[in-house]
């Protein structure tokens, strides 16, 4: 226990997080879903967690929420170690740390009215009856839903409205940290924008810290202040979102940013040429060599060192990069499109 | 119009709204009540013998006849129900009492706990239950309740095997995770969320197991392990009947019918509880109704036009319109994007070209001119010749688009032999060539693979190779990259572009992603509520949109240019896409449009826009003059309009 | 794959052991003793005691268990307490009867059920409803009653088939089949109902899959889609159902053998149960469990052959 409490500890602090699924010898042979991940989130800050399927981004969210026990590492919430918090501790923690999931159709129990869903959460901290109802109504209104939503069932709402309800469910306990696990990727474009705007409004209003898990760099760039790029459970690059998306330093971040298409044809022609000039290899289903860089088998810059030695995160410019050849990126590589 | 749907009031449980459910529940209740009250109203005592009236058929004295010692079958049949109906219920309780906790624990813990419980259940299930029950009777004697409890134990293992999957998928619901994040305890999560969501399969299994219990109890009674004479049991009465079958065949009717009806009632209840299976009914492709199609137009004058769609409407038979009167053209070698949000009709449009609309959906009017031929409303035997050979399709989920039980080789060579009339060996060679053409390096290995051995990107490449087997001139790509990671998407887009350049085929790309369209398409048609609202070249439409909806979609897209500042808020569109059948008069977008005015509520013709495109907005000219821009909206946008609307 | 088979075999051996142990415990938990059973009603307690001593019933339970287990491994279950014959010999005489009934009934159920299921899935609503009604009906009719009804019509009224009794295969195929016809049909009807439902839902599910659309989009003929692709997909649940049916029918033959007076395993089980003939009971349980275990193993292998996901593991 620390005796001197820091004046302003990070909202979330994650150190050397390792998560393996399953147990036993077979699980030890397969690479972990999350492999030595570290990051901080300051109060009121939004950290984007970006990666493709299998990158471990959702697993990190689950580990934070206590849904998947970490194999190694530590998680602090406001300076308090919550890595292995018991259920009882979770109950109080749950007021500070809340979640919004991806699928608004599965995240609300279809058999319960909206009010019941919100009240269930409040009852666990001793708020019942009229007090709970009043609080639920206020919260629903704050996410832009009418107060009579409280007596309705989830099936009566559209996808975007359900996601607002899920956000209300998160906010009803008045938290200061929200894990947002792909909150807009199941929504249509116009609804997605509404929900993103709402999340931005709520953050500014309540000084919320977000862990924003997404696969779409565009939405991350809109909402996040800083971003962590994951590949196969490891951090490839992290730093301010503008730097990482505009001037990526890791070959994987370069490939990721180049691959995202933009709806401006003229610009997209250049981007496509740029992307095709990268000559990044296709992902294979085979697990990478645990000794080396997980991206080495696809990376055009990879050499013997990359296969033999796992690169550590290094501070280069404004961002931290796990690449032996980071200095080359943006200078001699990628080649200019011809 | 409120945007929140009204709840359906359901006072009567669903299973009682079918004849089977009413019969099942009703018969069981009547039979149970009759059997436990029988002693007060039955005409004769069950042991009362009338040796003069032995082996009689039905008469006014003995309504259902008599048995070999002249006992009244009516009284006996209605008394006999009590024991099996109760003992089977006890068995069901024991089975679920043991099974459900194990199921819930295994589903929650998973891993080794689940493996151990599963192994235990498997062992129990492998025990031959009838023989075990006989052994139990041989050992502990003819005691029905204990024996049925042992049977309950055996059944619990079967329940585990049937319901563990249900429990596990029920735990997949994110609201379970949400409740756990709330700090809800394990037991409470199970009682409040997991069990209620399993209620229906549990009820169904309970009814089925109850029926089995009835059969087992009476089967044992048939073998002589019943309540013992003179107490009646249906099983033993049937045995009695079979011994007297030469003298009085009628004797087998009352107990057999009573038992069969009771078992049938439990099974009917199970069927009613299960409800409709949820599997869509298979409707064989039929001859499509010939629609009032305009005769094929002369293709001269329309330079290298491959496909010309005019006023095409797609409707649900006896239901709403899904696509209403859309028109577009596609030239040879051109890539066209059909863009819109979900429910705007883009997939239905694409599928109508191949005659592959879902059952109950059909083209109601308009024409599809393919290579100068009218193909809308062609009978199945003619469209089947077009599919694959002239127009092919790839779909959204590559992992489910290939038959999991057949190897890549068999799936590729079969159509190759059909399309190209080649032998086995030649088909294999072409298959390898096609795989290489879609960018698969180790084609030999992939040819031997089964779909589950392929990654998503690889499966999509194979699906594209499959679509190329008939050398089609038009490829319909329905969201071909939506399920893929962004770097894989980029690879597939580059591949499609290369294939177009190589083969000169046209592509109709269905997508919700304007970025994907910008990457690969030459032309674009933006759809909203079953209409094309704006069309033109990609460069024109996306760089300088005319229609407010296109403007809004672009404004809602968070992908800004590199180094451009991210906007404070995105340009959201208020409200949501109206479902088919609920489309407003006049401009269908007017409800959500920032620029809507009174003239928008009446029908109007599309305005020409761009070089050879169109915009379906009556205010196009005015908006162009004033240089209107779609402005960002704020919170509550989704409901703001509804509360203002009349 | 070999590891998988070895694992399944180990589980099977474990299951047989469990069945043996369970029955052993059941038998030893009763007030009855083999001496009393063997000597019958007239024996004095002293005589029973002497007989029990002779049979080794009074030894410590663990000794008896180890001894019986050792014998069981060699399929030695001792002598019947009632007719004094060797249990193994009796059971091996009876096995062909039960095996014939259940194999033939399973085959019949498989053929009829699959045909009905395919027709229900492929033809429209009306046919599906009819098949569903038939299977609901067949599932609810107890086999012992159905057997009586069939005997009445086919043996008594029409005099086409023998009502009871068994004719050995060696006595001629014709009479063998005739003697089995009624029991087999009686058993197969319920099985066919189960298989028909499985086949219908399996086919319908397969025909609703996305890959069927892919197949249509390349102009695959409809018969190929139905009878090659969808039927192949439906074959997995059907094979599973058939395996379970065989097990159920094998067990269910107790009632049928009793009804038709067939000298099979089930009859032995019934005699064992009514007469407290412990060695017979244990022998029947172990043998039936072995049949179940072998069936499951065959089933696993068959599924693995049909499902490439298992085959390529």
For residue range C236-257, what is the model confidence (pLDDT) as tens digits?
999 999 998 898 888 878 889 9
Q: How confident is the model at residue B299 (pLDDT cuts 50, 70, 90)?
A: very low
The neighbour count for residue B34, using CB atoms within 10 Å, is: 16
Statement: residue B45 has pLDDT above 70 = yes
Contacts of A310 (CB under 8 A, 6+ apart): A291, A292, A293, A322
Q: Tell me, yes or no, whether A158 and A242 share the same domain.
A: no
Strand order in the sheet with B523-528: B391-394, B474-478, B506-511, B335-339, B523-528, B531-537, B613-615, B607-609
For chains C and B, having 3+ Cβ pairs within 8 Å is answered yes
Phi/psi of residue B530, nearest 5 degrees: 80, 10
| Residue A103 within a domain | no
Distance in angstroms (rounded) separating the CA atoms of residues A329 and C230: 52
B622 C-beta neighbours (distance < 10 Å), count: 13
A227 and A314 inside one domain = yes
Nearest to A194 by CA among A143, A260, A152: A143
Question: Closest residue of A to B198, CA-based?
Answer: A111
Beta-carbon separation of B112 and A52 below 8 A:
no
CATH number at residue A184: 3.40.50.300
Same domain flag for A164 and A193: no
Residue A101 within any structural domain of the chain: no
The CA angle A141-A144-A148, to the nearest 5 degrees, is 55
Rounded to 5 degrees, what are φ and ψ at C77? -110, 10
Selected residue with higher pLDDT from B266 and A31: B266
SS3 A249: coil
- Please state, in angstroms and rounded to a whole number, the distance separating the CA atoms of residues B412 and B467: 9
% pLDDT > 70, chain B? 92
Interval B423-465: pLDDT, tens: 999 999 999 999 999 999 889 999 999 999 998 899 999 999 9
CA triplet A146, A149, A152: central angle to 5 degrees?
160
Quote the pLDDT of residue B18: 84
> What mean pLDDT do residues B235-251 have?
90
Task: Collect all residues of chain C within an 8 Å Cβ-Cβ radius of residue B215.
Answer: 142
Q: Flag whether A309 is in a domain.
A: yes
pLDDT in tens, B78-87: 999 999 999 9
**Which chain B residue has the Cα nearest residue C295?**
B126
Please tell me the pTM assigned to this model: 0.89
Whether residue A167 is found in the same domain as residue A242: no
Q: What is the pLDDT of residue B5?
A: 53
State which residues of chain C have pLDDT below 70: 1, 312-313
Give the model's confidence band at B415: pLDDT under 50 very low, under 70 low, under 90 confident, else very high: very high
Whether the per-residue pLDDT at B156 is higher than 90: the answer is: yes
Where does the pLDDT of residue B296 fall: very low under 50, low under 70, confident under 90, or very high at 90 and above?
very low
**Number of structural domains in chain A:** 2
Output the six-digit token pair for B402: 């290939």
The percentage of chain A sitting over the pLDDT mark of 90, rounded to a whole number, equals 62
What was the pLDDT predicted at B154? 92
* Shortest Cα distance, chain B CAs vs residue C218, angstroms: 4
pLDDT at C310: 80
| B8-28 average pLDDT score | 80
Asked if residue A151 and residue A88 are part of one domain, the reply reads no
Model confidence at B643, pLDDT cuts 50, 70, 90, reads very low
Q: Give the structural domain span for A115.
A: 108-174
Please, which residues bridge with residue B536 across strands? Answer: B524
Say if residue A209 is in the same domain as residue A259: yes
Cβ <8 Å between C211 and B128: no
Domain membership flag for residue A329: no
Using the CB atoms, write b or e for A296-327: b if 16+ within 10 Å.
bbbbbbbeeebbeebbebeebeebbbbbbbbe
Better pLDDT: B246 or C2? B246
Q: Which residue has the tokens 């509880």?
A: B273
Residue B639: pLDDT over 80: no
| End-to-end CA, chain B | 7
C-alpha A22: how far from its chain's center? 23
pLDDT > 90? residue B644: no
Distance (Å, whole) CA B326 – CA B527: 9
In a domain, A167, yes or no: yes
Of A174, A197, A230, which residue is a domain's last? A174
Number of C-alpha atoms within 13 angstroms, CB side, residue A129?
1
CB interface of B with A, residues 547-606, below 8 Å: 552-563, 566-574, 576-577
pLDDT for res B301: 45
Domain final position from A132, A149, A174: A174
Contact B282 C208 (CB under 8 A): yes
**Chains touching chain A, criterion 3+ CB pairs below 8 Å:** B
Q: What is the pLDDT of residues B251-288, one digit of tens each?
A: 999 999 999 999 999 999 998 988 776 666 777 666 45
Tokens standing for residue B421? 């009339």
**Which single residue is written with the structure tokens 């052994």?**
B135
Residue B242: list chain C partners with CB under 8 A. 144, 147-148, 151, 259
Q: What is the pLDDT of residues A286-335, one digit of tens each?
A: 777 788 999 998 899 999 999 999 999 999 988 999 999 999 898 888 87
Q: Which of residues 289-328 of A touch B (CB under 8 A)?
A: none
Q: Which of A88, A156, A259 sits opposite B4 (nearest CB)?
A: A156
* Least reliable range by pLDDT among A101-115, B223-237, B506-520, B567-581: B567-581
Mutate which: C120, C186, C207, C218, vs B, most B CBs within 10 A: C218
Q: Are residues A82 and A224 in the same domain?
A: yes
Query: Per DSSP, what are the bridge partners of residue B526?
Result: B339, B534
Which residue of C211, C228, C253, C264 to mutate against B (max B Cβ within 10 Å)? C211
Same domain, residue pair A75 and A167: no
What's the token pair of residue B141?
């004697």
How high is the pLDDT of residue B291?
A: 55
A192 touches chain B (CB under 8 A): yes
Lowest mean pLDDT among A73-77, B141-145, B151-155: B141-145
Helix (H) or strand (E) segment spanning residue A198 = helix A189-206
b/e per residue B539-576 (b: at least 16 CB within 10 A): bbbbeebbbbbbbbbbbbbbbbeeeeeeeebbbbbbbb
Report the residue of A194, A198, A224 to disrupt the B interface, i.e. the one with the largest count of B CBs within 10 Å. A194
Question: Tokens for A136?
Answer: 């639920």
For the cut 60, the answer to whether the pLDDT of residue A2 exceeds it is: no
Task: Give the closest of A99, A164, A190 to B552, CB-based.
Answer: A190
ipTM of the complex: 0.91
Do the Cβ atoms of A259 and B7 come within 8 Å?
no
Strand partners, B72: B66
Dist. CA B359–CA B352, nearest whole Å: 12
> Does A67 sit within 8 Å of B572, measured CB to CB?
no
At which of A146, A174, A202 does a domain end? A174
| CB burial readout C15-45, b (16+ within 10 A) else e | bbbbbbebbbebbeeeeebbbbbbbeeebee
Cα separation, A248 vs A326, in Å, equals 9
Contact (CB<8Å) B558/A196: yes
Q: Would you place residue B300 in the very low, low, confident or very high pLDDT band (cuts 50, 70, 90)?
A: very low
Residue A193 near residue B570 (C-beta atoms within 8 A): yes
A331 lies in a domain?
Answer: no
pLDDT digits (tens, 9 = 90+) for B577-623: 888 888 888 899 998 898 988 888 888 888 888 888 999 999 888 88
CB contact under 8 A, C217 and B131: no
Selecting from C145, C201, C306 the residue whose C-beta is nearest the C-beta of B277 gives C201
Q: Note the pLDDT of residue B2.
A: 39
- Torsion, Cα B221 B223 B229 B231, to 10 degrees, reads 10
Residue A338 included in any domain: no
Regarding whether A181 and A41 lie in a shared domain, the answer is yes
Q: What string of H, E and C letters represents the secondary structure of chain C? A: CHHHHHHHHHHHHHHHHHHHHHHHHHHHCCCCCHHHHHHCCCCCHHHHHHHHHHHCCCCCHHHHHHHHHHHHHCCCCCECCCCCCEHHHHHHHHHHHHHHHHHHHHHHHHHHHHHHHHHHHHCCHHHHHHHHHHHHHHHHCCHHHHHHHHHHHHHHHCCCCCCCCCCCHHHCHHHHHHHHHHHHHHHHHHHHHHHHHHHHHHHHHHHCCHHHHHHHHCCCCHHHHHHHHHHHHHHHHHHHHHHHHHHHHHHHHHHHHHHHCCCCHHHHHHHHHHHCCHHHHHHHHHHHHHHHHHHHHHHHHHHHHHCHHHHCC
* Predicted pLDDT of residue B637: 45
Mean of per-residue pLDDT scores for chain A: 89
DSSP B142: S
What local confidence, expressed as pLDDT, does residue A191 receive?
86
What would the pLDDT profile of A71-108 be if each residue is shown by its tens digit? Answer: 999 999 998 898 888 777 777 887 889 999 988 889 99
A312 lies in the same domain as A230: yes
Sort out which chain C residues have CB atoms less than 8 A from B249's CB and list them: 152, 156
What pLDDT does A190 receive? 81
Q: Which residues lie across from A316 on neighbouring strands?
A: A319
Same domain (yes/no): A211, A143: no
Asked if residue B638 has pLDDT above 70, the reply is no
Residue A335 lies in a domain: no
What residues 71-100 of chain A have any CB closer than 8 A to a CB of chain B? 87-88, 90-94, 97-99
In this structure, the answer to whether residues A30 and A65 fall within a common structural domain is yes
């Amino acid at each position: 226990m620390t005796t001197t409490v820091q004046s302003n500890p990070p909202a979330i602090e994650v150190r050397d997080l390792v998560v393996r699924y399953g147990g036993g010898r077979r699980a030890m042979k397969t690479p972990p879903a999350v492999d030595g991940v570290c990051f901080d989130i300051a109060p009121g800050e939004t950290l984007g967690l970006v990666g493709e399927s299998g990158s471990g981004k959702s697993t990190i969210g689950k580990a934070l929420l206590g849904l998947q026990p970490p194999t190694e590492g530590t998680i602090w919430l406001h300076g308090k170690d919550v890595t292995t918090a018991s259920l009882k501790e979770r109950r109080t923690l749950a007021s500070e740390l809340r979640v919004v999931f991806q699928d608004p159709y599965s995240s609300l129990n279809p058999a319960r009215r909206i009010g019941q869903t919100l009240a269930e959460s409040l009852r666990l901290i001793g708020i019942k009856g009229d007090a709970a109802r009043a609080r639920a109504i206020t919260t629903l209104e704050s996410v832009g839903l009418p107060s009579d939503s409280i007596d309705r069932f989830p099936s009566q709402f559209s996808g975007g409205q359900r996601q607002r309800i899920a956000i209300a469910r998160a906010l009803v306990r008045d938290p200061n940290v929200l894990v947002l696990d792909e909150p807009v990727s199941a929504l249509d474009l116009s609804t997605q924008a509404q929900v993103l705007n709402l999340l931005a409004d709520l953050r500014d209003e309540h000084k919320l810290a977000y862990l924003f898990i997404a696969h779409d760099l565009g939405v991350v760039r809109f909402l996040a202040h800083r971003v962590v790029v994951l590949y196969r459970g490891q951090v490839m690059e992290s730093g301010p979102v503008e730097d990482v998306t505009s001037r990526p330093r890791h070959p994987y971040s370069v490939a990721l940013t180049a691959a995202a298409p933009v709806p401006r044809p003229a610009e997209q022609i250049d981007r496509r040429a740029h992307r095709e000039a990268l000559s990044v290899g296709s992902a294979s289903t085979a697990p990478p060599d645990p000794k080396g860089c997980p991206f080495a088998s696809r990376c055009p810059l990879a050499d013997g060192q990359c296969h033999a030695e796992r690169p550590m995160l290094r501070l280069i410019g404004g961002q931290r990069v796990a690449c032996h050849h980071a200095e080359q990126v943006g200078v001699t590589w990628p080649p200019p499109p011809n | 119009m409120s945007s929140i749907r009204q709840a359906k009031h359901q006072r009567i449980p669903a299973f009682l709204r079918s004849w089977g459910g009413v019969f099942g529940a009703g018969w069981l209740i009547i039979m149970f009540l009759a059997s436990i009250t029988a002693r007060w109203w039955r005409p004769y005592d069950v042991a009362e013998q009338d040796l003069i009236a032995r082996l009689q058929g039905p008469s006014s004295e003995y309504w259902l006849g008599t048995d070999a010692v002249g006992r009244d079958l009516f009284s006996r049949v209605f008394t006999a129900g009590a024991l099996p109906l109760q003992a089977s219920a006890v068995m069901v309780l024991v089975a679920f009492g043991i099974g459900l906790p194990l199921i819930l624990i295994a589903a929650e813990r998973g891993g080794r706990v689940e493996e151990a419980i599963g192994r235990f259940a498997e062992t129990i299930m492998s025990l031959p239950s009838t023989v075990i029950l006989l052994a139990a009777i041989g050992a502990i004697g003819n005691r029905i309740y204990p024996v049925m409890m042992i049977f309950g134990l055996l059944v619990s293992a079967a329940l585990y095997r049937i319901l563990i999957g249900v429990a596990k998928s029920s735990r997949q619901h994110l609201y379970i995770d949400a409740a756990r994040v709330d700090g809800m305890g394990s037991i409470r999560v199970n009682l409040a969320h997991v069990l209620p969501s399993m209620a229906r399969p549990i009820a169904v299994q309970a009814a089925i197991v109850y029926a089995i219990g009835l059969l087992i109890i009476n089967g044992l009674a048939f073998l002589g392990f019943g309540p013992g004479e003179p107490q009646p049991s249906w099983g033993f009465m049937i045995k009695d009947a079979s011994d007297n079958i030469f003298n009085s065949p009628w004797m087998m009717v009352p107990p057999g019918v009573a038992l069969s009806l009771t078992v049938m009632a439990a099974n009917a209840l199970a069927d009613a509880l299960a409800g409709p299976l949820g599997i869509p009914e298979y409707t064989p492709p039929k001859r499509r109704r010939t629609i009032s199609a305009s005769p094929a137009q002369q293709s001269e004058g329309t330079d290298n036009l491959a496909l010309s769609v005019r006023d095409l409407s797609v409707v649900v038979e006896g239901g709403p319109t899904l696509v209403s009167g859309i028109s577009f053209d596609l030239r040879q070698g051109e890539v066209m994007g059909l863009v819109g949000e979900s429910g705007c009709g883009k997939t239905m449009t694409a599928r109508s070209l191949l005659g592959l609309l879902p059952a109950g959906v059909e083209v109601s009017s308009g024409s599809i001119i393919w290579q100068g031929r009218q193909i809308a409303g062609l009978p199945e035997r003619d469209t089947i010749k077009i599919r694959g050979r002239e127009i092919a399709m790839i779909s959204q989920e590559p992992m489910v688009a290939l038959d999991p039980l057949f190897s890549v080789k068999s799936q590729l060579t079969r159509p190759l032999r059909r399309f190209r009339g080649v032998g086995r060996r030649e088909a294999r060679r072409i298959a390898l060539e096609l795989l290489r053409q879609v960018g698969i390096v180790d084609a030999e290995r992939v040819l031997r693979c089964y779909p589950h051995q392929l990654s998503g990107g690889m499966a999509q490449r194979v699906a594209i190779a499959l679509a190329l087997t008939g050398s089609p001139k038009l490829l319909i790509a329905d969201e071909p990259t939506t399920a893929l990671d962004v770097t894989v998407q980029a690879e597939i887009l580059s591949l499609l572009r290369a294939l177009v350049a190589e083969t000169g085929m046209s592509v109709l790309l269905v997508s919700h992603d304007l970025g994907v369209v910008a990457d690969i398409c030459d032309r674009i048609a933006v759809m909203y509520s079953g209409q094309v609202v704006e069309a033109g070249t990609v460069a024109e439409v996306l760089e300088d949109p005319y229609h407010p909806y296109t403007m809004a979609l672009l404004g809602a897209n968070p992908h800004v240019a590199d180094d451009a500042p991210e906007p404070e808020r995105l340009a959201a569109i208020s409200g949501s896409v109206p479902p088919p059948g609920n489309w407003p008069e006049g401009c269908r977008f007017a409800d959500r449009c920032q620029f809507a005015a009174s003239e928008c509520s009446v029908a109007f013709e599309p305005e020409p826009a761009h070089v050879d495109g169109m915009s379906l907005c009556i205010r196009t000219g005015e908006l162009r003059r004033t240089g209107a821009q779609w402005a960002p909206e704020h919170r509550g946008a989704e409901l703001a309009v509804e509360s203002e609307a009349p | 794959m070999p590891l998988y088979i070895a694992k399944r075999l180990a589980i099977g051996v474990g299951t047989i052991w469990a069945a043996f142990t369970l029955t052993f415990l059941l038998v030893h938990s009763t007030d009855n003793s083999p001496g009393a059973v063997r000597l019958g009603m007239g024996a004095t307690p002293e005589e029973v005691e002497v007989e029990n001593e002779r049979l080794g019933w009074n030894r410590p339970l663990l000794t008896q268990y180890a001894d019986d287990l050792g014998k069981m491994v060699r399929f030695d279950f001792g002598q019947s307490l009632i007719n004094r014959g060797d249990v193994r010999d009796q059971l091996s005489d009876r096995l062909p009867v039960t095996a014939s009934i259940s194999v033939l009934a399973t085959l019949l159920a498989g053929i009829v059920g699959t045909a009905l299921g395919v027709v229900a899935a492929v033809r429209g609503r009306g046919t599906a409803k009819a098949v569903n009604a038939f299977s609901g009906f067949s599932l609810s009719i107890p086999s012992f009653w159905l057997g009586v009804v069939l005997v009445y019509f086919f043996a008594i009224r029409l005099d086409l088939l023998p009502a009871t009794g068994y004719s050995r295969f060696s006595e001629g195929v014709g009479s063998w089949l005739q003697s089995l016809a009624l029991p087999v049909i009686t058993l197969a009807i319920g099985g066919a109902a189960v298989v028909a439902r499985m086949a219908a839902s399996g086919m319908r599910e397969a025909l609703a899959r996305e890959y069927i659309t892919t197949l249509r989009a390349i102009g695959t003929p409809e018969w190929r889609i139905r009878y090659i692709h969808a039927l192949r997909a439906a074959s997995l649940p059907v094979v599973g159902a058939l395996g379970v049916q065989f097990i159920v029918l094998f067990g269910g033959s107790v009632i049928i053998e009793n009804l038709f007076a067939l000298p099979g395993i089930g009859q032995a089980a019934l005699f064992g149960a009514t007469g407290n003939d412990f060695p017979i009971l244990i022998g029947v349980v172990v043998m039936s469990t072995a049949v179940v275990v072998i069936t499951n193993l065959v089933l696993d292998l068959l599924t693995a052959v049909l499902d490439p996901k298992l085959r390529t593991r």
